[in-house]
Structure 1
Amino acid sequence: MSENVTVERTNNYLRQVKGSVLYKGAAVAASFLVIPIMISYLGVVQFGVWSTLLTIMSWVVFFDLGVGNGLRNKVAESLAKDQPDEARSYISSAYSLIGLIAIGLWVGFFFISYSVSWQSVFNTAVLAEEDLRYAVQVAASFVLVNFWVGLIIALLGAVQKSALISLGQLFTNAFALLVTYLLYYFTAGSIGKLAWMYGAGLLGGNLLLTSWFYRKYKYLVPSLSFQREHLTPLLSVGIRFFIIQLAVLVVFTTDKILITQLFGPEHVTEYEVIFKLFSVITFLHTLISSPLWSAYTDAFHRKDNAWIVKMLGNQLKLYAVVIVGIVCLIFLTRFVVGIWIGHDFTVSLSLVVFVAMFVAVTTWNNIFAIMLNGAGAVNVQLYTALVAMILNIPLALLMVKIFGMGVEGIVLAATLSLLFSAVLLPLQVFRLTRAESPDVSMA
């Protein structure tokens, strides 16, 4: 193992963290500033509908069959082995496949959208059926185009340029803040108008990143063609990521649907505000941990276990700081929300505590999941994610229907469903890093 390679990997990781702190910090600030404006613009009920709509739209990314994550690993692996032509072939196959899937989803959705009662989906009669359908169709169109363009996120991760991903998020969030402010002052509340502006910002950020990437990495510019010998490995790796993503979808994004159906969309707003506040912890941790994914891939295929273990040790030290931050935020939540949203906006202390527990468990799991993702050793994640997916909704219904809990019962159910991962992922990482010649196929 070349000492220069190890040093450069570490230095690049530190550069990406510094860049991410700058860009992501500004992006988070913009996302916080836009929330009270959106609530004022749409009202509590419509904001709950909008928040739930965005959650549903986020499901689209899971239809890529895990190709995005598979692409990230395969491109990083090819570049680590100094095989740029191989990397380009993987990119070409991924763009071709995702493009066809996006077109198919768009056609299918527009036919189905006219047979769905969107008022029933969002459990509200505040908005007319036609207005809801229009907003959903606009949001879906932008999201499906971005589904294809958004492969740039995987590629930036593969070349260890994760700071630029945060730059794209900054563009999107700053654009959303500006447009929402203008809509609030010059138009009446409209989810349809917000869907247009949100979609334009989301797509615009990824188009700018795509332009930069292919100007810098001209040798990776894809051709729109399938290459079976590269598509098969992408799907082989990707399908396991897909199943994990599907399970994560159930655990992380069905909460708003459950709250909407069990309590009404107005309860989503309190949930969203608290989660948004605690997302500061998640964002800050992600700034430091996400650049490690492809760095772990590079180190793993160069058999640099010592570097991997060193980085994991640093991540565990960071986790202690995360726990202190979570505890402090529990006591500060009502004060911060009073300044941020308004003193007439009340939050439940019990919901704050349960959200804090959820963030603590997910952050812990993320430390080990990133290393396993980088190594491509995802079988244990696959099994524990499936268990979480199976348990989450039944546990939520148990907490609400049998034990009589409120919204906090739904959050507790999600936390409990993740405990298997909290135990088994660290054990898998320990086994993998202690092996002299790690066998990914057995992992």
Structure 2
Amino acid sequence: MPLQERSFAPASVLRQCFRRLPFGVGASEGRDRERYLRAARSAACNSVSAALGFAVVVLSVSFTLPYLGQERFGIWMTISSLAVMLQVLDLGVANGLVNLVADAKTSDDHETLQRIVTRGIVLLTAIGVAAGGVLVGVMMLLDFQHLLKIESPEVAREAVLSTFTFIALFCVNIPLGGVRKVFFGLQRAWEPHMVAAIGYLCSLPLLYLCARSHAPMPYLVLCTYGVQVATAIILLVRLYMERMFRLRRGIWSGSGLRDCTALMRTGGIFLILQIGMICGNACDPLIVSHILGASEVARLAVAQRLFQAITVAMLMLSGPLWGLYADARSRGEKKFIRNTLKLSMCVTTGTALFMSALILALSPWLLKVWTGNHLDVPIELRCAAAVLAVVEAMANAFTIFLNGVSELRPQLLAVIVFCAVSVPLKICLLTKFGTVDWVIWSTIIASIVADYIVYIGLFRKRILAHASLGPTA
């Protein structure tokens, strides 16, 4: 039997499946099929990475909560949340690289692609150094014991050392985050996912060893966030081997200023969008810790992580579509965008609803197995986290579409509305009712208000025109 007849490679199976999906006609049909293949490959690799990442999240609670105690565990979760909260310090340049790289790839100009990638990474390196100086200066001015309401001076010193460790890793991760985004623009998102999976595999035994030896919090930061930062260097080496990243003299000569300006302009919009995400979730531990105390952060963290599998799974499905939307936009192929958007929103909403209901129903048993009755998570908090998981899944799928078609200004206005509603509402409701679930309900309310006013009320025609779903604005 010929070799090709005996082959049963996953790629061949995927090609057979995608022939049944609605594609374009003529030359676009082959591109549509190839885009879906790349997205499926990315989703498959992301599923491996997500499963391992979820295992790290689950086991980090089981391993460390018994010996850290509720207060120290809450502090560690607060420090861990800084990875999302401080990502705005890359000024949005990493996200701005995705569409610029996708446009350069469409033109098949390797010289332009190499120039954009190299200049973007160098710019992010400079931003990382500057961010490090700012963060260290801020740390010297803060009173951690008062800020997080820590009772023990010894625990406060441990928290400070853990935060300094995190800052060093975070500043290194700023240019490496840009490297990851380059692969999204190249429609090769599966490579960062596999590298992340390698990091999670390394973190699991390290977490176990830290738990066995009752290691202090700085070691926990190193064996989780630190390992992810270290493994990302693999991607930088790969770009160098493919001659997409080259450091040479005169790197900023010629069109260097124009490329830098384009990155900063696009990045500035992403910066404001990232600030909105911080208001949505990342600053919640700090707000809760300051108003209710660090011990309440532990309940919030466990409830959020209980439903984190939904967010991860939905990003696994929709995340790889960013580069695909950008490529289709560059070629003017609206039919692909329309079909993909419909499919993405339907699958995301249905899957998120099912998973959320299932996890909520099983949550008493899951929490008993997971935390060993070391922590009580009220049903009100679990219900709020379940609803938020569905809202976030739908919002993420739609945001990926908006990013891919470079429709950033409506997002900008939506973020402004969201921030104006979210932060005061969280502070007000937490102070009035004194239960941690209100920080999540505040996020849900602000998200719905902002989306309805901006996307449905103001920019509906303009947004849908990208997918030929409505008249051009």
Q: Quickly name the TM-score band, shorter chain normalised.
A: over 0.9
Asked whether the 8 Å contact 1:20–1:166 carries over to 2, the reply is yes
**Change in CA separation of 1:206 and 1:411 when aligned onto 2, cut-off 3 Å:** same
Q: How does 1:292-371 map to 2 (within 5 A)?
A: 292-318=321-347, 319-371=349-401
1:150 has 2:177 as partner: yes
Q: What CA distance in whole angstroms lies between the structure 1 residues aligned with 2:179 and 2:325?
A: 20
Counterpart pick for 1:408 among 437, 443, 446: 437
Matched with 1:119 is: 145
Q: Which runs of 5+ in 1 are unaligned?
A: none
Asked whether the 8 Å contact 1:281–1:322 carries over to 2, the reply is yes
Counterpart pick for 2:319 among 290, 308, 311: 290
1:436 Cα shift? 9.3
Deviations 1:256-311 (A, max 9, x none): 11110111111111111111110101111111100000000001111111111111
1:380 Cα shift? 0.9
What's the TM-score, normalizing by structure 1? 0.92
Asked whether the 8 Å contact 1:62–1:242 carries over to 2, the reply is yes
Asked whether the 8 Å contact 1:368–1:429 carries over to 2, the reply is no
Deviations 1:100-123 (A, max 9, x none): 221122223334423321112222
**Change in CA separation of 1:67 and 1:223 when aligned onto 2, cut-off 3 Å:** farther
Matched with 1:205 is: 231
Asked whether the 8 Å contact 1:23–1:170 carries over to 2, the reply is yes
1:139 Cα shift? 1.3
Mean Cα deviation higher: 177-186 or 301-310: 177-186
Q: What CA distance in whole angstroms lies between the structure 2 residues aligned with 1:401 and 1:102?
A: 36
1:220 Cα shift? 4.4
Q: Secondary structure in 2 aligned to 1:150?
A: helix
Mean Cα deviation higher: 202-211 or 71-80: 202-211
Deviations 1:380-399 (A, max 9, x none): 11101111112112111222
1:373 has 2:403 as partner: yes
**Change in CA separation of 1:199 and 1:127 when aligned onto 2, cut-off 3 Å:** farther
Asked whether the 8 Å contact 2:96–2:266 carries over to 1, the reply is yes
Matched with 2:114 is: 88
Matched with 1:165 is: 192
Shift >6 Å, 4+ stretches? 435-438
1:59 has 2:89 as partner: no
Deviations 1:171-223 (A, max 9, x none): 3333332212112212x3411222333353022121122223432x3244455
What's the TM-score, normalizing by structure 2? 0.87
1:92 Cα shift? 2.1
Aligned residue pair count: 436
**Change in CA separation of 1:284 and 1:32 when aligned onto 2, cut-off 3 Å:** same
Matched with 2:260 is: 231
**Change in CA separation of 1:401 and 1:219 when aligned onto 2, cut-off 3 Å:** closer
What is the aligned-residue identity percentage?
A: 19
1:56 Cα shift? 2.4
Q: What CA distance in whole angstroms lies between the structure 2 residues aligned with 1:223 and 1:9?
A: 34
Matched with 2:66 is: 40
**Change in CA separation of 1:330 and 1:422 when aligned onto 2, cut-off 3 Å:** farther
Q: What CA distance in whole angstroms lies between the structure 2 residues aligned with 1:144 and 1:96?
A: 13
Q: What CA distance in whole angstroms lies between the structure 1 residues aligned with 2:244 and 2:222?
A: 35
Asked whether the 8 Å contact 1:71–1:155 carries over to 2, the reply is yes
Matched with 2:269 is: 240
Mean Cα deviation higher: 172-181 or 350-359: 172-181
Deviations 1:344-378 (A, max 9, x none): 53221111111111111111111211111011111
Asked whether the 8 Å contact 1:102–1:148 carries over to 2, the reply is yes
Deviations 1:85-110 (A, max 9, x none): 22222222212222122112222333
* Aligned partner letter, 1:325: M
